[in-house]
Amino acid sequence: MYPTLAIFAVLLLFVFGCNTPAKETPTQTTDVSTMTTEHKQAIEKEISGLIKEFFQQVEKLDIEKCMTYFENTPDFQAVNPDGTFGDYNALKKLNADGFSQMKTLTVVPTKEAIRVLTDSLVLYTFSMEQNATLKTGQKLKFEHVAGTMLFNKINGAWKATFYQESASAPVAVK
């Protein structure tokens, strides 16, 4: 009888264990203050490479590739140059509309800062000049463009979950 009771007890524990929902454990992140200099520099290098690739896609006017650097979730936020808020799709549409009017676009970075907040959260800030040639042949210079991207490491990949851009009005170039 005791072996039967013991087997029943084990089965009961197994059944209750299988029916208990798993507890979610928060993702462990390492605060920048406890990170080694090498770890922080490695993250800065990853973000720097990612940004270089991103701006190359911007210059190619490839909206589909550009948007792969952003996380398409309901939590994504964008602040557009005109001060309006947008989500992933609004940012994509706004930039697709702009790209569709351009024949060429060059990006000339003037300053950038990469601030590692944790091992999975990085703030990237930039200022640049942009030179565009419209399909009409008109040339425009955006002398002051600045922006901020907040990157989160999601499933092993860095994705921007917030984007803000400010720009002065373009100047026509002869």
Residue 15 located in a structural domain: no
**Residue 33's beta-bridge partner residues?**
none
Q: Which of 93, 91, 72, 67 is nearest to 161 (CA)?
A: 72
Q: Which of 58, 61, 65 is nearest to 126 (CA)?
A: 58
Q: What's the whole-model pTM score?
A: 0.80
Is residue 171 predicted with pLDDT exceeding 50? yes
Q: Determine the average pLDDT of the residues in 23-33.
A: 58
pLDDT at 30: 76
Q: Reduce the DSSP state of residue 33 to 3 states and report it.
A: helix
pLDDT at 126: 97
pLDDT at 34: 85
Residue 5 located in a structural domain: no
Alpha helices in 2-106 (DSSP H): 2-19, 37-59, 63-67, 88-100
Torsional sign, CA 87, 88, 93, 98: positive
Residue 14 located in a structural domain: no
Number of domains composing the chain: 1
Residue ranges making up the domain that contains 71: 35-173
The rounded distance, in Å, linking the Cα atoms of 96 and 107 is: 17
| Residue type, position 133, single letter | T
Q: What is the CATH number of the domain that holds 39?
A: 3.10.450.50
Residue 59 located in a structural domain: yes
DSSP string of 87-109, one letter each residue = -HHHHHHHHHHHHHTEEEEEEEE
Residue 19 located in a structural domain: no
Residue 17 located in a structural domain: no
Is residue 40 predicted with pLDDT exceeding 90? yes
Residue 60 located in a structural domain: yes
Name, in order, each residue with C-beta under 8 angstroms of 165's C-beta and a sequence gap of 6 or more. 79, 80, 81, 145, 146, 147
Q: Please give the mean pLDDT across all residues of the chain.
A: 86
pLDDT tier, 24 (very low <50, low <70, confident <90, very high otherwise)? very low
Decide if 127 contacts 143 (C-beta within 8 A): no
pLDDT at 33: 76
- Count Cα atoms within 13 angstroms, Cβ side, for 28: 1
pLDDT single digits (tens) 112-163: 999 999 999 999 999 999 999 999 999 999 999 999 999 999 999 999 999 9
Q: Determine the average pLDDT of the residues in 21-39.
A: 66
Residue 99 located in a structural domain: yes
pLDDT at 8: 34
Percentage of residues in the chain having pLDDT higher than 70: 84
